[in-house]
């Protein structure tokens, strides 16, 4: 597909070997379209994080990969960290507890953009403003434990977008937050990807949460892609029973125009 940023063709990932191997992705065919927001939906263990790690080139050594992962949207082989930004569920795992926030974001900006420390610090504060961190100048000097969960997630997003990646991957980035903060972070992600024309992969087990703002859905179950398509089409006419059950269990939370399949 010509407007694909990334194309997976019969893409499989197996952890371990032989009888003890776990197939985490089983012959997946999926395109990420340039500038689109794609939600990867699925229950625990369905292979969502494996897909995220595979895209970002972060699979562990014991993972055996088959099939193709092509990058028609990039003019060069993918450069992890530069072409992809990654936001995890627990920003504690990506933030360093003993470095000040400003230093961490500045380091990301310095490494990827070749800035001096002075320029990188200025860039870091600008990024904190961009992710609407309250009192960005104070946050620059704070340590991760001095921030709330939502604020830490803003910092993680600032670091992830420091290099202006073409693809932002958010793996359950809002799952640990309460619903109000969750909505704020989703608005923030939505705004950032629109402004920068980034392609977004938003991973969640919550179809209702994703459906409010993504363009496309891909539903996984037991390592298999069971359904993919425009969010509106999938919601109004799901092809698989599994997706229909997911939608039915969230029907009260889904936005009425999306359910009705009306143009947005
Ligand atoms: N490093 C690993 N070694 C062996 N098996 C793994 C490894 N990482 C993941 N798996 C297995 O691969 C399968 C898919 O895992 P994955 O983390 O991709 O699921 P997920 O959909 O992200 O789940 P969750 O919603 O709980 O985060 C699971 O059965 C998991 O146990
Ligand atoms: Mg996961």
Ligand 1 atom showing the smallest separation from residue 205 Cα: 25
85 to each of 153, 168, 232, how far by Cα in Å? 13, 5, 27
Nearest protein CA to atom 19 of ligand 1, as residue? 45
Tokens 């790690």 -> residue: 53
- Pick from 37, 25, 21: nearest CA to 186: 37
- Pick from 226, 30, 4, 227: nearest CA to 236: 227
What are the residues facing 221 on neighbouring strands?
Answer: 224
For residue 124, what are its two tokens? 């870091």
User: 48 alpha carbon to ligand 2 midpoint, in Å?
Assistant: 5
Q: pLDDT in tens for each of the 264 residues of the chain?
A: 559 999 999 999 999 988 889 999 999 999 999 999 999 999 999 999 999 999 999 899 999 999 999 999 998 888 877 899 999 887 777 789 999 999 999 998 998 888 999 999 999 999 999 999 999 999 999 999 999 989 999 999 999 999 889 999 999 998 888 888 889 899 999 999 999 999 999 999 999 889 888 999 999 999 999 999 999 999 999 999 999 999 988 776 665 544 444 444
DSSP-derived secondary structure for 203-256: EES-HHHHHTT-SEEEEEETTEEEEEEEHHHHHHS-SSHHHHHHHHHHTTTS-H
Q: What is the pLDDT of residue 77?
A: 87
Nearest protein CA to atom 11 of ligand 1, as residue? 24
What confidence tens digit (pLDDT) does each residue in 40-71 have? 999 999 999 999 999 999 899 999 999 999 99
Q: How far apart are CA 114 and CA 117, in angstroms?
A: 9
Burial class of 11 by CB neighbour count within 10 A (0 to 12, 13 to 18, 19+): buried
**Would you say the CB of residue 42 lies under 6 angstroms from ligand 1?**
yes
What confidence tens digit (pLDDT) does each residue in 167-213 have? 999 999 988 888 888 898 999 999 999 999 999 999 999 998 898 88
Tokens 């670091």 -> residue: 159
| Cα torsion angle, 236, 241, 243, 246, sign | positive
**Would you say the CB of residue 45 lies under 6 angstroms from ligand 1?**
yes
Nearest protein CA to atom 18 of ligand 1, as residue? 47
Domain boundaries, the chain: 93-164
- Pick from 199, 225, 213: nearest CA to 4: 199
User: 44 alpha carbon to ligand 2 midpoint, in Å?
Assistant: 7
User: 38 alpha carbon to ligand 1 midpoint, in Å?
Assistant: 20
Nearest protein CA to atom 3 of ligand 1, as residue? 15
The strand pair at 199-204 and 37-42 is best described as parallel
**Would you say the CB of residue 50 lies under 6 angstroms from ligand 1?**
yes
Please give the helix or strand (H or E) that residue 83 lies within, else none.
none
Whether 34 contacts 73, CB under 8 Å: yes
């Amino acid at each position: 597909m010509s407007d694909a940023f990334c194309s997976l063709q019969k893409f499989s990932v197996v952890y371990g070997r032989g009888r003890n191997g776990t197939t985490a992705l089983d012959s997946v065919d999926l395109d990420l379209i340039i500038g689109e927001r794609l939600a990867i939906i699925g229950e625990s263990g369905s292979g969502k994080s494996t897909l995220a790690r595979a895209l970002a080139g972060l699979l562990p050594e014991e993972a055996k990969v088959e099939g193709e992962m092509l990058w028609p949207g990039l003019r060069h082989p993918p450069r992890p960290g530069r072409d992809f930004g990654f936001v995890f569920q627990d920003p504690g795992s990506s933030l360093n507890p003993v470095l000040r926030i400003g230093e961490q974001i500045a380091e990301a900006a310095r490494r990827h953009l070749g800035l001096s420390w002075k320029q990188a610090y200025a860039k870091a504060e600008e990024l904190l403003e961009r992710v609407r961190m309250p009192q960005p100048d104070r946050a620059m000097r704070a340590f991760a434990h001095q921030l709330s969960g939502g604020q830490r997630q803003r910092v993680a997003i600032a670091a992830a977008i420091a290099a202006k990646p073409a693809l932002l991957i958010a793996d359950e980035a809002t799952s640990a937050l309460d619903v109000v903060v969750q909505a704020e972070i989703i608005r923030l992600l939505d705004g950032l990807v629109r402004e920068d024309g980034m392609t977004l992969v938003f991973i969640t087990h919550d179809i209702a949460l994703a459906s409010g703002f993504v363009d496309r859905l891909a539903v996984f179950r037991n390592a298999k892609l069971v359904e993919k398509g425009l969010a509106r089409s999938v919601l109004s006419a799901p092809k698989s029973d599994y997706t229909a059950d997911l939608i039915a269990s969230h029907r009260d939370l889904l936005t009425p125009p999306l359910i009705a399949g009306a143009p947005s």
